[in-house]
Structure 1
Amino acid sequence: MNIIIVGAGALGLLYGARLALAGHGVVLLTRSDEQAGALNAQGLLYKEATGAETKVVIPAASVRRFVDAGACRAFGADWAVLAVKQPQVDAGLLADLERLLRGGVPLLALQNGIGHMERLAEALPASPVYAAVTTEGALKPDERTVRHTGTGRLAFGRWDGRNDDGAEAQKMLLDALADAGIEANLSNEIKDQVFLKLLLNAVINPLTAIYQVRNGELSRDPYRLRLMRALHDESEAILRAAGLRSNEDLWERLLGVCAATAGNESSMLRDVRAGRLTEIDWINGGIAGYAKRLGLSSRMNDAVLALVKALRVT
């Protein structure tokens, strides 16, 4: 199977390396010509959780160069994976994706937060668009290196709920992921899974960024714990009003995730420290948007949204 991976951050590099090592055709599309040049000249260095290192040769190009060259048709893509962060899903990228995926190539979207799926579906009317939730852990120490930090699962499903369409393409992707040792399943409840991950991100990400602590340190201080609970309860109430149906004890689930990832730095904490634009607008801002439409209060989400934005170094 031939797969285009749009975005060469940690997850893009991780999935690219594993799929290529399993024998599938992969091309990596980067934001910059410089990163593409480094990958083409030196290869992708894949560091497994066991410590083993493998050099993987994968062709790379910047998104714009690949699109302008009309290389998608020559490559014969069966699937595309969108592995960029939410702030990069802008009008320019949507236009590039429309040209890239002409012919109805299905797209798997790995973004955190909400709001992007509707924009992708509108921009790509010919392509089936799938939302994905992954619990894989990866870090990108430099432009051509990825370190696998934790094994997880990938769940995906059509955002419009039409999983009965495209069975052949779905099976092709599931088989390719299995070849790469990636546990995956097609979900008929993908919106619920997106909401569940959003709830975790809405508490862990902004609070670790504000307090400058790792995940496991959040609940060790009683004052931070009270703030966690208040933010969690408000967010859960809003998401349940928006359609979340899970019967789990979601507060205990949150505490369990913090304990299981105690040594991890959230992506938002890393973005704040690096002075990068965060995904706060699509995480807590997304929940606040639901609240506004539903006539609910979102004071806690509004507060952390303002605080994280104030932390950004420009």
Structure 2
Amino acid sequence: MRIWIVGAGAIGLLYGSRLAQSSVKVTLLTGSAAQAAALAAGGITIEEYGTGAAARAAVDAAPLAGAHAIAGPRDWIWLTVKQPHLTDDLAASLAALCSGGASLLCLQNGVGHMEKLREAIPERQLYAAISTEGALRLDEVTVRHTGLGSLTFGRWGDLASDDVTISGQDGSQKMLLDILEAAGIEGSMSNDMNNRIYHKLLVNAVINPLTAIYGVTNGELPDNDSRKRLMIALHAESEAVLSAAGMSGDGDAWERLMTVCRRTASNESSMLRDVKAGRMTEIDWINGGVAAIARQYGLTTPLNDAIITIVKTLAMN
């Protein structure tokens, strides 16, 4: 199986290295020619979770610009860029990459990206994915695995509502699960990805902005009483909105949030890193996504609205 990964940030490098180490043919498509050249020459270096031991994985790499002209098969395309980078031009490039029948696996935080991609990509080729791995990109070719997690994926759109089992899916999906297992990646399939995305959004809407505001790691966030009280309030407000929109669960949403904090304790959220670097954050697609859903149901989100303002102010400084 040939997997192309669009985006060589922390998650792209993490999955690219782990897949390549298990003998999957991986091609990374980067935003710059310099990063592509560095990856093609020396591969990806990954600092393994728990031990810090460094391993190197050989990959192919090329700039995204013009990548649709690269010869060779591609079975899956993994989209790992952040929401602000999902432009109309990128959507058009992805459509060209998928023109040979490859499936597109989308690992973005927040909401709105799947609806945008659905306008450009045939529904039968479009998959949503949820990752709870922790990763930190140290430089253009080096990534640190900072927290164990899992990868859940499934069809997006009307096809996802079909009541089917894994054995009833096409062979490439079952093969992808086998490849994830061989690479030591905890993987699963779901035909309820909209619900899964809401649950991931609930986690992100609390951890990402609050770690960015307080400047702490995921594990440090609940270790202070005042921070934890704000976590609880923001979680309750966001959960009420997403439940009104149809999110279902077993009542353990708060414990799942705390589990993520524990399992990715040393990880700095992507929003914290963006604020530190003065980059545009994903706040409009995470807490802004919660607020937009609330408006659809006649609800208000004063905490989310305040959080959005604070994070945007921090990112400008």
| TM-score (norm. length: structure 1) | 0.93
- Does 276-285 or 47-56 show the bigger shift? 47-56
- 2:232 pairs, out of 219, 229, 233, with 229
**1:29-50 deviations in whole A, cap 9, x for unaligned?**
0011111111122222122223
Task: Answer yes or no: is the 8 Å Cα contact 1:105–1:127 preserved in 2.
Answer: no
Which one-letter code corresponds to 1:185 in the other structure?
S
CA-atom RMSD in angstroms: 1.8
Query: Residue 218 of structure 1 aligns with which residue?
Result: 221
- 1:181 pairs, out of 161, 184, 187, with 184
- Residues 4 and 257 (structure 1 numbering): CA distance in 2 closer, same or farther, change over 3 Å? closer
> Is 1:11 aligned to 2:47, yes or no?
no
Query: Residue 53 of structure 1 aligns with which residue?
Result: 54
Question: Following TM superposition, by how much is the alpha carbon of 1:306 offset from its aligned partner in structure 2, in angstroms?
Answer: 1.1
Task: Answer yes or no: is the 8 Å Cα contact 1:104–1:126 preserved in 2.
Answer: no
- Residues 43 and 108 (structure 1 numbering): CA distance in 2 closer, same or farther, change over 3 Å? same
Question: Following TM superposition, by how much is the alpha carbon of 1:269 offset from its aligned partner in structure 2, in angstroms?
Answer: 0.8
- The whole-number CA distance in structure 1 between the counterparts of 2:268 and 2:65 is 32
Structure 2 regions of 5+ residues with no counterpart?
A: none
Structure 1 regions of 5+ residues with no counterpart?
A: none
Query: Residue 288 of structure 2 aligns with which residue?
Result: 285
**1:243-291 deviations in whole A, cap 9, x for unaligned?**
1100223233323433443333211111100111111011000011101
Task: Answer yes or no: is the 8 Å Cα contact 1:131–1:157 preserved in 2.
Answer: yes
- Does 27-36 or 172-181 show the bigger shift? 172-181
- Residues 291 and 6 (structure 1 numbering): CA distance in 2 closer, same or farther, change over 3 Å? same
Query: Residue 63 of structure 1 aligns with which residue?
Result: 64
- Residues 269 and 172 (structure 1 numbering): CA distance in 2 closer, same or farther, change over 3 Å? same
Question: Following TM superposition, by how much is the alpha carbon of 1:78 offset from its aligned partner in structure 2, in angstroms?
Answer: 0.8
SS in 1 for 2:111: coil
**1:97-153 deviations in whole A, cap 9, x for unaligned?**
111110331111111111101111111126521111112222110001112222221
> Is 1:136 aligned to 2:133, yes or no?
yes
Task: Answer yes or no: is the 8 Å Cα contact 2:123–2:157 preserved in 1.
Answer: no
Which one-letter code corresponds to 1:199 in the other structure?
L
- The whole-number CA distance in structure 2 between the counterparts of 1:262 and 1:151 is 10
Task: Answer yes or no: is the 8 Å Cα contact 2:148–2:264 preserved in 1.
Answer: no
SS in 1 for 2:77: strand
Question: Following TM superposition, by how much is the alpha carbon of 1:83 offset from its aligned partner in structure 2, in angstroms?
Answer: 0.8
Question: Following TM superposition, by how much is the alpha carbon of 1:160 offset from its aligned partner in structure 2, in angstroms?
Answer: 1.6
Which one-letter code corresponds to 1:47 in the other structure?
E
Which one-letter code corresponds to 1:263 in the other structure?
S
Which one-letter code corresponds to 1:22 in the other structure?
S
- The whole-number CA distance in structure 2 between the counterparts of 1:126 and 1:246 is 26
**1:193-251 deviations in whole A, cap 9, x for unaligned?**
21111111101111111122222333333332332222111100000011110022323
Which one-letter code corresponds to 1:16 in the other structure?
G
- The whole-number CA distance in structure 2 between the counterparts of 1:178 and 1:312 is 38
**Identity level (%):** 55
Query: Residue 302 of structure 2 aligns with which residue?
Result: 299
- 2:107 pairs, out of 106, 110, 120, with 110
> Is 1:154 aligned to 2:157, yes or no?
no
- Residues 215 and 20 (structure 1 numbering): CA distance in 2 closer, same or farther, change over 3 Å? closer
Task: Answer yes or no: is the 8 Å Cα contact 2:4–2:77 preserved in 1.
Answer: yes
Task: Answer yes or no: is the 8 Å Cα contact 1:214–1:264 preserved in 2.
Answer: yes
| TM-score (norm. length: structure 2) | 0.92
- 1:265 pairs, out of 265, 268, 283, with 268
SS in 2 for 1:81: strand
- The whole-number CA distance in structure 1 between the counterparts of 2:151 and 2:193 is 11
Which one-letter code corresponds to 1:269 in the other structure?
L
> Is 1:98 aligned to 2:134, yes or no?
no
Which one-letter code corresponds to 1:20 in the other structure?
A
- The whole-number CA distance in structure 1 between the counterparts of 2:31 and 2:137 is 15
- Does 223-232 or 186-195 show the bigger shift? 223-232
Query: Residue 76 of structure 1 aligns with which residue?
Result: 73
- Residues 98 and 182 (structure 1 numbering): CA distance in 2 closer, same or farther, change over 3 Å? same
Query: Residue 258 of structure 2 aligns with which residue?
Result: 255
Which one-letter code corresponds to 1:146 in the other structure?
V
- Residues 216 and 286 (structure 1 numbering): CA distance in 2 closer, same or farther, change over 3 Å? same
- The whole-number CA distance in structure 2 between the counterparts of 1:286 and 1:212 is 23
